[in-house]
Structure 1
Amino acid sequence: MHKWILIAILCILFPVAAMAQTGKIAGKVTDRETGEPLIGANVVIEGTDRGAATNINGEYVILNVPIGKVTLVSSYIGYQQITIRDILIKSNETTSTDFRLPSEAFKVGEVEIIAEKPLVDKNVTNSKSTVTQEEIENLPVRGVENIAALQAGTVSQDGDLHVRGSRGDMTGYIVDGVNVNDPVYGGRSLTVINNAIAEVNFQAGGYSAEFGGANGGLISTTTRTGSRKYQFGLEAYTDSWGTPGEENFLGSYNYGLSQYVMTAAGPLVGPVRFFVAGQNTFQRTPAQYRDPMDLANKYDMALRSTAAHAVLAPEEQAKVGIFDPRLGSAAKKVDFTYPGGLIYNNAQEAYALNGNLTIDLNPINIRVGGTYGYSTVRDGDYTVGTTNPVPVDGPVQRGYQVGRTAYFDQTAQQWFYNTGENISYGNQHRALQTESENYSANLKMTHLLSQNTFYEIFVNYFGNFNLAMDPYHQHDLFAYGDSAANSPLGYEFRGDGIGPLPIELFGDQYEVYGSPARGYAYQKDRYSSISAKLNFVHQIGRTHEIKLGGEASQYDVRQFDITPFTLRSFVRNNPDATDGQIAVSSRTNNYGYNEWGIPVDDGANGPKKPVFASVYALDKIELEDLIINVGLRWDFIDTDTKEFVDPNKIKFDEEGLISQKDDNLKDVEASSTFSPRLGFSFPVTDQTVFYAQYGKFVQQSRLRDVYLGSAISANNIRGGYAIQNPVGYGLRPETTIQYDFGFRQQIGENLAFDIGAFYKDIRDQIQQQQIPAASGAQHRAYFAWINGDFATTSGLSLKIDLRRTERIQASIDYTYADARGTGSAPSSAFRALWLSPTETPYLPKYTTSLDFDQTHRGALNIDYRFSNNDGPEIGGMHPFENLGLNMLFTFNSGHPYTLVDENSYDNRRQPVEVLNESRTPWNFQLDARLDKTVTIASLDFNFYVWVVNLLDTRNVTDVFIQSGSASDDGYLSTTTGNQLVQAYEAYGSVYSDLYREYYYQTNVMNAPLYGPPRQVRLGLRIDF
């Protein structure tokens, strides 16, 4: 009920992520002729009552300035007023702005200066980059993560963002000054609409003591706020202008992508202003390379089907094009077609709402806001075969399944192949349905006690709910394993009652029409948090900015995950079974819910309520030729979980559950860590700055890594199963020590570069281990996470900025890095443990290149833009005015992988080289956005064409580890595959051709082995 009350409040208040961050302005006011300081001169932010008076040295400081562009006005008795416009304020940074006032004795007329974005900022003591709202609008990418991925120090791979050798879950996210990390799964927990972003600030390391919980990098987003005048915006773009399944303009496909955005801002009543943004996104199928497949009448196939029902529903046959001879034709040729660029029943749709209200009651400012996001996804599958390759040394390195056979049909006197795999085209309409919902409400109050002192109070509530289920049976858990409930869907059980009866068609096994494409799981999780934060800021003179603060968050985490397919048969065969016994047999993972998925608030199945708290103190010392950032942070982490008294001899109760008694379980002790941070900046001149930084950072692993229900824990431990993603009992926080140094240099008026070096040492990372069982234990050796992995990363970064000159603005970000460690992911040691001949395997501690180590990575962005009334004049008009072209060229060297013996398979694959010795190919991609703004009356129409991968470069991002190729799984080169080809003489080439076409067009193109294909999107934005 609380969720719907919250949503109602959001609808009334039009809120989004509140708590916007602020910056500071500092400078000096002097006499233009003599250079003497002017004491008591006024400096005011135009349109507000915020300002300051200069001290005896002519210095002033204005605190708590909202980010974005502001106008400063300086005045003094006997001197002419000077106005400086478009001063860019960045979050948590000091913007230096000096005034040289002319005497009234020298009449020079009104003085107005347009400020430019500084190329070298002497006040920044670490690697930091800021992308403004204007730059975001012009880029041919959207989304906070995609923007951050362009910055030096980052690696975007397999959907994760790695910063300077850190794992993907170590990146921190801040929205308007508040931590919005997803504590359970990692990543960002709420939806920020691209049109609502005012600034994205990325720090690859060395951030101040105010921020924690992020051992990698920190991505800080500031959202827009209400304006003094009404502003409205509408935007829509789509790639759905061509025919689905067919090549369109420039050889691109229609992936059914469309997005619609609305923004509004302005005054409400008196001092109240509002901002709101809403967004809807729909995509019919993910954008991946999928060439059309057409095997019609190419190969003779044996017809050996005895099943009584069709592979596809009749209405689906016309879409996919599988011709089934049992439906009336006596033909024995396969007639199998699948259009390009499509996955049926794989659509996803999302809605988002961001908004806020600001109330300026000087000296108190109040901001209230919130977010709401909802998405639904159908998990249809493109692949024909259900090999489900097990990853090796990384999440998407693909293998294959040995066991394909061939046979010779004596009647037809033809050779045919048989994969022996289940074919999944027949179940796309019953694809897994996933729904996700997140919502937040927040409040910030700022009280300006004096010109040099203010404090801030933040309160934030966040909630998240995820649900995955069969779209037909939904919440009816018993129906998943009920033959009567499945019969109308054409789903027939095997005799053992644990799976469907496959049918054979053309010599291949097909799953029957109606069976789920992604298994039979039912899962839901819900987690929420309430947090509060206090900041106190005091400026002492021009030199010291003292900042003290603290933050505390408590979470409520609930999970229910069951295998419902076996539930009904177990209950039927064991009518007297207890709830606990049923939960163990069904591998139920539940906390915050009972064994049947009903919420509970206490007891052994109660929710987890971890507490994260911190206190920090920092001093920013700003001298004329030295800037020092010094701080200390204290982190307190209580995960609210238990560990075993004796992990080698675990006790169980009469239901088979883990005993909850004190002689078996004990509370995990809360961690307490102090983290010093120290940064220096040495401005040699106003165009040359050296900087250095040291910092210690701590971060708790994902809560998903420490929480598991009692029933599934008992099942895993007693069975001694090789669980690839277990949990850890008593995991400590991970620790990072980082050093960062470099220098910034401006060249001329419009060019500057920043070159830096970094070193990072990461300890206590999560690693998989096998815990042996003691003599007399009621269980076998089991798998668990421990603190064991470590990594070191070193490298160089280069950033070059060209301020807009003769219509051109450009930037280059490049990183050279060497990321090495003992494990790229927690499960990296899984196969070594699983293949170990003993229950106490030895894992050697040596470092190799990490899976996501890309030695070279960079981005070149060029923006060529005509301003208003710019360009050649034709017939009294400027046809090229407000026309712009933004080109983004990204590149990276390949990442490591390990070649394995082509004749080994599954989890028994044997490497044939040193771990991660091979590398995938280099990647190159060019994206572009061409736009033209036309003003009609008071409306600005911005028409644009956005092309992803303009050159349609088919970049190899991952390979099959048997072959080192993205187009060949290596099977035909194996002993088995080669024997089959040789055995059938004249038909061997037919086998090879059919295998390559059939398997490559389905399985290979389904795997994320390639980067994005070319996509042409048309868009329109209207501002008024």
Structure 2
Amino acid sequence: MNSKLLYRLLAFLFLGLSLQAQSEEKASLSGVITDAKSGETLPGANVLLVGTYLGAAADINGNYVINGIKAQDYTIKVQFIGYETKLFTGISFEPGESKVLNIELREQRESLNEVTIVGKKEQISLEKASSEVTISQEQISQMNVRDVQEVLQMQAGVIKTQDGLQIRGARVYETEYIVDGISAQDPLAGTGFGVDVNSSSVASVDLITGGVGAEFGGGSSGVVNTRIREGGEKFQISGRYQRDNLGNSDIASSFNTDRFELNVGSPIPGTQKKLTLFASISAYMTDEYFGATADQLESSLFSANPEFWAPRYTNSYTNTIKLAYKLRSGTKLTLTNQHSLNINQNTRTLQIVGFDAILTPGFQYNRSNNLDNATTYTHHSNLTALNLNHLITKNWGLSVSVGRLFTNLRADANGRPFRTETVDQILDEQHIISSPIEIFNPGDPRGIYYVSVGDGLINNGGITPTWHDHYVEEYSVNGKATWIPDNKQHELSFGLQNTFTEYQWVDVTRPWVGAPIKINDSTYTQSVSIGSSNDIWSVNPIETGLFVQDRISYKGIIATLGLRLNMWAPGKFVDDAVNDPSAPVIDQVREDYLAKTSEVFGLRWKARLLPKINVSFPVTENNVLYFNYGHSMRLPHPRFIYAGLDPTYQDRSFLASLGNPDLDPEVNVSYEIGLKSKLNKDLAMSLTAFNNNRFDYIVSRRVIVADQTGRPTTKNFYINQDYANIYGVELGLNYRIGRYLNSFANIGYQVARGKSNSARESSLQIEQNGEVSLSREQYLAFDRPWNINTGIIFAPDSTLPILGMNWTGFSAFLSYQFTSGFRYTPQQLTRTNELGRPIYEPIVDQYLQNQAKPWHNIDLKLSYNLPLGMKRGKGVSLSVEIRNLANAKNSQIINPVTGEAYEYGDDVPITWRDPRYSGPQESGVDPRNPARYLAPRQILYGIEFRF
């Protein structure tokens, strides 16, 4: 089916393109190419019509001529070794026209690939043989987005869920996130992003969903490459303040939200503008839309002045500093520090991949009666990147990046310490009986009474049993050399990337268990354990990547051939455990690990080769067909490798985790074919079909091993076994409407099928359905076939004439998003119990066959620049931003009986509490969780300045 889809698409593309062929009088282009400074001619300079096979080289006098040009709009590309590449966009040709374009080129000063664009930004790049989009700072400033994630969710192939961002049906942790050349992902949290970047700090964001180059090796679904802004040659300051109420926080569209940001860019005095500074701070605080909040959030990492750091339910801060120093022409040094802090009670902040329930909102509804005792999460991250870009010669370039990422995540009972010196009260929520106790059926003549089940929400003074702390300290050293010959037909790059990491993981359930218990004034029990269960380890893995890549350009044909060698050493912790007979390592795992690894520099290493091929070529003028094939990989979540291997500090609880040192990475083999078409200078289209085959997904199994006393105990163990197949089609349109309007539409359809959604789920399927479930392919829970993002930007560049008058200062951004609902397993009525409640149970052979009600969302932002008589781009503006304009009720907790979020009176499955019946059989919590819907309408009022 997948192959047929690709073949049909390819046939459709060629058929459509062949119909465009016309016989008409051809145009020509001629001119002279000179040095912008000296005026000397540049013999041998190349002039190309992008998206065609047409081009010419300048003769000894710098003259060039290109004949046979079909009447259309083109981008003209001019190249000469040692000089900038110049792009002239929107050049139009009439039939038979002879156009003259004289060109001046400036010597390259920044890098080998320095590009200057003359004209408006292209609607699509016809020279990139990949599914890649670049969003500039100017585009970001026109949208109502807060951070990089909100920028990305508008792009084709990207869906935002409670877990994070999914690219082309992959899991959220499979994306590689880079900030100024350094990995910005917390590999232990499992959420994707590790360091938040505020939208106003971004110079540009590259999103690559297909055809990822060999220089990227940390993700298996795509790459998000963020570049931080630099200060300019003049002092600039800008800022913004938004809030969602004007004095009345009780209105329905207010979540008690405040957003603040301040940005400064400037040259440093006394450096002749060689040294520049960009600095930014932002704060975002909100109580969300759930209603219930804690009286005060407390963070044990930021215990001083909690009212300042955590005044709301969600509190996010970022701080950016970037210094850029031009040492000389062709040599530039930058230093970036990106800092972020998040304090909230959202359980999605920590995702231990494969264990948490999939697609579950992070609101702790079961503790909503007493959120002062719920779990509070603090995620603190700091990234530092030092980058050197150096032009060695006119043919050779070098880039070196040295960076440090530190990220720390703490989860505790709203700031309480790990445990007090002594315990003198019952803390476990499950063992505290609230008073008074209500009795169900107190008049039963049989004398059988039941305690009333109530609403199932915790309200007894107990505290959350979660205590978690991990940190990642990661040092990176990356180098890349690039060579471009005089004819510019090759761009050969090769490099080395090294990452040295320290992971420390402490995960404890009910930490007070094992602390001394105070019986009376003089009697104490002794400490016996670290909580009721725990997982504790500290490790030092190393990763190394070698890559070589050649981008070949010849008369409109572009081919990129790449090869990457990834090598990784799990570290001394694992090597010692494998060699220690007393460590709880399965014998077969010891043998396999030693057989599949090689010892180098005292550590045992694994390796994998990842080939990459990208090819593009014009099929007609301004219509480029491209094909991508590539292997990529993602190392397993560290917990799957290291858990429970320490021979001394072991979790002896039932079903504790046992790591597998011999785990292989999860691998993606991707195929992609697509068409990029520039229909005219204002309208561009891309159409792509892709097929991703994912192998070696990790699954959970139960094994019996001997503990230190020799007694058998059952453990959760992990192996590579599952697979997934994701295929789909994406359509992108960009249309510039006149001078003032820009619009876009990204439409994606995909199907995600596999054997299980998580490591834990695979084990449960075997328990419920037997080993036969291992060979059964099914829809994955994160399969959401349709994703449509459209938007229109109204941003006049100066004045807008209406009815003979000039209107200035107004701008608007309107966006619409449509996303298929979550998958669920339908339920059927099987019987009615003695209280009259209908009993619904899953239809086993229709696992995840149904699709819930789709999501619809409309956002609108209106801005008005106050007429203060300042230069263009400067001044003060007022704004109104409306999120979820239509107040759509988008379901994110699905009632499998109805396919929508629960409303009172609906029937529910047997595993849910039905508030219409209060029998003793009811369990769980009341289904009226406010997080069962996405956020309702929110209106934010803002003021912004730029000087």
Q: CA deviation at 1:823?
A: 1.4
Change (3 A) 1:482 1:691: same
Q: 1:532 to 1:220 in 2, by over 3 A?
A: same
Counterparts of 2:674 and 2:102, CA distance in 1: 42
Instruction: Give, as a single letter, the amino acid of the residue that structure 2 aligns with 1:807.
Output: Y
Structure 1 distance, partners of 2:766, 2:646, is 24
Checking the alignment, whether the CA contact within 8 Å between 1:359 and 1:366 is kept in structure 2 is yes
Structure 2: gaps of 5 or more residues: 1-26, 50-57, 64-73, 92-98, 104-115, 298-309, 349-353, 440-451, 598-604, 834-839
Distance 1:664 1:450, change over 3 A: closer
Which residue of structure 2 lines up, in the alignment, with residue 336 of structure 1? none
SS of alignment partner, residue 1016 of structure 1 = strand
The answer to whether the Cα contact below 8 Å between 2:162 and 2:361 also exists between their aligned partners in 1 is no
SS of the equivalent of 2:256 reads coil
Query: Structure 1 433/121 Cα, relative in aligned 2: closer, same or farther at 3 Å?
Result: closer
2:157 aligned partner, one-letter code: G
Residue equivalent to 1:785 = 718
2:554 paired residue among 616, 619, 623:
623
The answer to whether the aligner puts 1:276 opposite 2:267 as a matched pair is: no
**1:127 — aligned with what?**
131
Asked if residue 757 in structure 1 is aligned to residue 689 in structure 2, the reply is yes
Which residue of 1 is the match for residue 933 of structure 2? 1010
Deviations 1:531-568 (A, max 9, x none): 10111111112211111111100101112233322122
What is the match of residue 12 of structure 1? none
Distance change in 2, residues 1:666/1:86 (3 Å)? closer
SS in structure 1 at match of 2:275: strand
2:387 pairs with 429, 444, 465, which one?
A: 444
Q: CA deviation at 1:887?
A: 0.9
Is 1:394 aligned to residue 317 of structure 2?
A: no
Rounded to whole Å, the distance in 2 between the matches of 1:439 and 1:742 is 39
1:673 and 1:531 map into 2 onto residues whose CA distance is 20
Equivalence map 1:280-299=2 (5 Å)? 280-288=282-290
CA deviation after TM superposition for structure 1 residue 95, in Å: 6.7
Q: CA deviation at 1:768?
A: 1.6
The 3-state SS of whatever aligns with 2:890 is coil
Q: Shift in Å at residue 151 of structure 1?
A: 1.2
- For residue 811 of structure 1, the aligned residue among 740, 744, 747 is 744
Aligned to 1:166: 170
Distance 1:253 1:505 in 2: 38
Report the Cα distance in structure 2 between the residues aligned to 1:219 and 1:966, rounded to whole angstroms. Answer: 33
- Counterpart of 1:532 in structure 2 is 477
Q: Supply the AA of the counterpart residue of 1:260.
A: F
Q: 1:967 aligns with which of 902, 921, 927?
A: 902
| CA displacement, residues 104-125 of structure 1 (integer Å, 9 cap, x when unaligned) | 9xxxxxxx99512223423110
Kindly provide the amino acid, as one letter, of the partner of residue 337 in structure 2: G
Query: Taking structure 1 as reference, are residues 191 and 204 closer, same or farther at Cα in structure 2, changes over 3 Å only?
Result: same
Equivalences for residues 712-731 of structure 1 within 5 A: 719-721=653-655, 727-731=659-663
Determine whether 1:374 maps to 2:341.
yes
CA distance in 2, matches of 1:359, 1:810: 37
Contact 1:174 1:180 in 2 (8 A): yes
Deviations 1:15-73 (CA, angstroms, capped at 9, x unpaired): xxxxxxxxxxxxxxxxxx9956747x2257xxxx9x99844245699xxxxxxxxxxxx
**Which residue number in structure 2 is paired with residue 337 of structure 1?**
none
| Alignment check: 8 A CA contact 2:277 2:322 kept | yes
* Cα distance change on mapping 1:842 and 1:873 into 2, 3 Å: closer
Identity of aligned residues (%): 18
Residue identity in the other structure for 1:992: R
Cα deviation 1:493-548 (Å, max 9, x = unaligned)? 79xx984342236665798978245x133322121011101111111122111111
The aligned runs of 1:449-488 (5 Å cut-off) are 449-471=392-414, 473-479=416-422, 481-483=423-425
Change over 3 Å in CA distance of 1:216–1:88 after alignment to 2:
farther
Q: Name which of structure 1's ranges 969-978 and 141-150 shifts more when overlaid on structure 2.
A: 969-978
Match of 2:182 among 175, 178, 193: 178
Q: 1:643 to 1:832 in 2, by over 3 A?
A: farther
| Counterparts of residues 683-722 of structure 1 (less than 5 Å) | 683-710=618-645, 719-721=653-655
Deviation at 1:728, TM superposition (A): 4.1
Superposition map of 1:516-915 within 5 A: 516=462, 519-540=464-485, 541-562=487-508, 563-568=510-515, 582-583=529-530, 586-591=532-537, 607-640=538-571, 669=597, 670-710=605-645, 719-721=653-655, 727-772=659-704, 778-835=711-768, 843-872=773-802, 878=806, 880-900=807-827, 911-915=843-847
Q: 1:253 to 1:88 in 2, by over 3 A?
A: farther
Distance 1:86 1:349 in 2: 48
RMSD (Å) for aligned C-alpha atoms: 4.7
CA distance in structure 1 between the aligned counterparts of 2:117 and 2:383, rounded to whole angstroms:
41
- Give the deviation of 1:356 after TM superposition: 0.9
TM-score by length of 1: 0.71
CA distance in 2 between partners of 1:912 and 1:513 (Å): 36
* Residue matched to 1:257: 257
Give the corresponding residue for 2:890.
Answer: 955
Q: Contact (CA 8 Å) 1:892, 1:923: kept in 2 or not? A: yes
Contact persistence 1:645–1:665 (CA under 8 A): no
Post-superposition Cα deviations, 1:77-101, rounded to whole Å, max 9, x if no partner, equal 999xxxx999999xxx987449987
Q: Which moved more, 1:921-930 or 1:464-473?
A: 464-473
Query: How much has 1:397 moved relative to structure 2?
Result: 9.4
Structure 2 counterpart of 1:459, one-letter code: V
After superposition, what is the alpha-carbon deviation per residue over 1:351-381, rounded to whole angstroms, capped at 9, x for unaligned?
Answer: 2111111111114211112122222225699
Deviations 1:608-634 (A, max 9, x none): 111111011111111122011111111
Aligned residues: 817
Instruction: Give the drift of 1:965.
Output: 3.8
Say which SS state the counterpart of residue 831 (structure 1) adopts: helix
Amino acid at match of 2:778: T
Q: How far did residue 971 of structure 1 move? A: 8.7
Q: How far off its partner does 1:894 sit?
A: 2.1
Q: What amino acid does structure 1 have at the position aligned with 2:135?
A: V
The offset of 1:673, in angstroms, is 0.9
- Letter of the structure 1 residue corresponding to residue 886 of structure 2: L
One-letter amino acid matched to 2:822: H
SS in 1 for 2:642: coil
Q: Partners in 1 of 2:829 and 2:647 — Cα distance?
A: 35
Q: Does the CA contact (< 8 Å) of 1:373 and 1:437 recur in 2?
A: yes
Partner Cα distance (2:131, 2:124) in 1: 12
Q: Post-superposition shift, 1:754? A: 0.6
Is it true that 1:349 corresponds to 2:321 in the alignment?
A: no
User: Is the contact made by 1:380 and 1:428 (CA closer than 8 Å) also made in structure 2?
Assistant: no
Who is 1:429 aligned against? 372
Q: 2:863 aligns with which of 928, 931, 937?
A: 931
Specify the alignment match of 1:18 in structure 2. Answer: none
User: Relative to 1, partners in 2 of residues 1:954 and 1:78: Cα closer, same or farther, differing over 3 Å?
Assistant: closer
1:210 aligns with 2:230: no
Structure 1 residues not aligned, in runs of 5+: 1-32, 62-73, 105-111, 293-311, 317-343, 382-389, 401-421, 484-491, 592-606, 981-990
Q: Distance in 1 between matches of 2:592 and 2:620?
A: 62
SS in structure 2 at match of 1:565: coil
CA shift for structure 1 position 150? 1.4
Whole-Å Cα distance in 1 between the matches of residues 554 and 102 of structure 2? 29
Closer/same/farther in 2, CA of residues 152 and 426 from structure 1, 3 Å limit? closer
Structure 1 residues 238 and 902 mapped into 2: Cα distance closer, same or farther (>3 Å)? Answer: farther
Cα offset, 1:970, TM superposition: 8.8
Give the direction of change, closer, same or farther, for the CA distance of 1:216–1:960 in structure 2 (3 Å limit): same
Partner of 1:1021: 944
